[in-house]
Amino acid sequence: MSRSAVVPRVGVVVLTQGTRPGDLDRGIRSILAQYGVDLDVVVVGNGWQPVDLPSGVGGVALPENLGIPAGRNRGVEHVTGEYLFFLDDDASIPSTTFLSDAIAKLRREPDIGLLQPRVVDPSGATNPRRWVPRIRKGEATDSGNVFSVWEGAVLLPRGVFDATGGWAEPFFYAHEGIELAWRVWDQGLRVWYAGDLVAHHPAIEPTRHSYYYRLNARNRVWLARRNLPAVLIPLYVGSWTGVQLIRWARRPAALRAWFGGWMAGWREPSGERRSIGWVTVWRMTRSGRPPLI
């Protein structure tokens, strides 16, 4: 039997705090409706006990909210499969062949190590530009290589995920999708934005509070300290510092919180350092995004 004829097994991790039961149920059922794949689905309750799950869906209760990256990593420990798919509790998959179509793409182009679909608000609201993980956004339907991902719906081979070391647990929230993408690139693979595949998600602007600004800055510094060659660390952090000074020049409260996180990023331990190689830096640069901004 050819490899393409084998029904792929997908370990699916759905992360939730239990605050959106309707959305959670919609997302789970969109996974269970998938054709052409063998599923192993687990719902991770970050500080919540999953209840009333459909038959065949496992639940993992974490006694406290460990943060988004750690919650996803705990879910991986409870699923099997050649592929992993991560879905947030407010996202869903409208096509019943989404997983099989995405896996077919990965099998046709084995140098793709991670895939993010196009994200669409099903109500028809304007989709935020941030969902397209490119500096030059272009049309949302245009596919191509990217260097970060919107983390709410991503697919990758289990072996690739394991080689990255998993989601960046110290981050708790923010920028973990950049690190995951960089570590996929560092395996000699590509990260792909699939404009022809769709995930649904409501177009709600995230709350911008002091905690958000702090983690945004701290994790930028940690991202550099954990992943970049030493000479590039101050260049990357410096470029983003300049961006924030311009972006929030008229918002002193935001800048104060941001620089508090910036200082914490240098002072506090960032966890495991796994610098990407210079070959990876060159490949990313040649593909349009040097890891400097």
Answer yes or no: do 17 and 61 share one domain. Answer: yes
Q: How many domains is the chain partitioned into structurally?
A: 2
CA angle in degrees (0–180, nearest 5) for 132-197-184: 60
Sheet holding 153-157: strands in order across? 57-62, 38-46, 9-16, 83-88, 153-157, 112-120, 190-200, 144-145
pLDDT at residue 207 in the model: 62
Say if 285 falls within a structural domain: no
Q: Quick one: average pLDDT of 71-86?
A: 98
Crossing angle of the two packed helices 252-267 and 210-227, in degrees rounded to 10: 40
Q: Is the pLDDT of residue 2 over 60?
A: no
Could you tell me if residue 117 is inside a domain? Answer: yes
Q: Which residue did the predictor score with more confidence, 194 or 250?
A: 194
Domain-terminating residue out of 162, 180, 200: 200
Q: Is residue 1 part of a domain?
A: no
Does residue 277 form part of some domain?
no
Domain that holds residue 239: 210-271
List Cβ neighbours of 151 (8 Å cut-off, separation of 6 or more): 68, 86, 88, 176, 177, 180
Which residue from 121, 123, 126, 145 is spatially nearest to 134, judged by alpha carbons?
Answer: 145
The predicted pLDDT at position 214 comes to 93
- Domain for residue 291, yes or no? no
- What pairs with residue 88 in β-bridges? 15
Torsional sign, CA 200, 205, 207, 209: positive
Position 1 scores a pLDDT of 42
pLDDT digits (tens, 9 = 90+) for 132-151: 998 888 999 999 999 999 99
| 54 close to 28: Cβ distance less than 8 angstroms | yes
- Asked if 88 and 128 sit in the same domain, the reply is yes
Domain identity same for 169 and 225: no
Residue 121: give its domain's CATH number. 3.90.550.10
Tell me what the mean pLDDT of segment 176-203 comes to.
97
Same domain, 22 and 122: yes
- Does a structural domain hold residue 279? no
Domain end call among 200, 225, 255: 200
Q: Which residue has the higher pLDDT, 48 or 5?
A: 48
CA distance 2 to 220: 44
Same domain, residue pair 27 and 150: yes
What per-residue confidence (pLDDT) applies to 5? 63
| 3-state per-residue secondary structure call for 185-253 | HCCCCEEEEEEEEEEECCCCCCCCCHHHHHHHHHHHHHHHHHHCCHHHHHHHHHHHHHHHHHHCCCCHH
pLDDT of residue 4 exceeding 80: no
Q: Please provide the average confidence, as pLDDT, over all residues in the chain.
A: 94
Which tens digits make up the pLDDT trace of 244-272?
A: 899 888 888 889 999 999 999 999 999 99
Contact 32, 96 (CB under 8 A): no
pLDDT per position as a tens digit, 84-115? 999 999 999 999 999 999 999 999 999 999 99
- Cβ neighbors of 8 (< 8 A, separation 6 or more) are 37, 38, 81, 82, 83, 99, 100, 103
Whether residue 194 sits in one domain with residue 123: yes
Tell me the C-alpha distance between 37 and 103, whole Å. Answer: 9
Spatial separation of the C-alpha atoms in residues 185 and 283, rounded to whole Å: 8
Which of residues 165, 200, 235 is at a domain's end? 200
Give the pLDDT mean for 180-198: 98
Give residue 155's identity as a one-letter amino acid code.
L
292 has a pLDDT exceeding 50: yes
Q: Is residue 205 part of a domain?
A: no
User: For residues 264 and 209, what is the distance between their CA atoms, to the nearest angstrom?
Assistant: 17
Q: What is the dihedral of CA 7, 11, 15, 16, to 10 degrees?
A: 70
Same domain, 146 and 12: yes
User: Do both 220 and 194 map to the same domain?
Assistant: no
Position 282 in a domain: no
pLDDT digits (tens, 9 = 90+) for 223-233: 999 999 999 99
Residues 146, 253 within the same domain: no
Mean pLDDT of all residues in 3-22: 90
Question: What is the dihedral sign for C-alpha 216, 207, 117, 156?
Answer: positive
Question: Does the pLDDT value for residue 192 go beyond 90?
Answer: yes
Q: Indicate whether 142 and 215 sit together in one domain.
A: no
Residue 211's pLDDT is what? 84
253 shares a domain with 154? no
Per-residue pLDDT, averaged over 180-197, amounts to: 98
Q: Could you tell me if 110 and 217 lie in one domain?
A: no
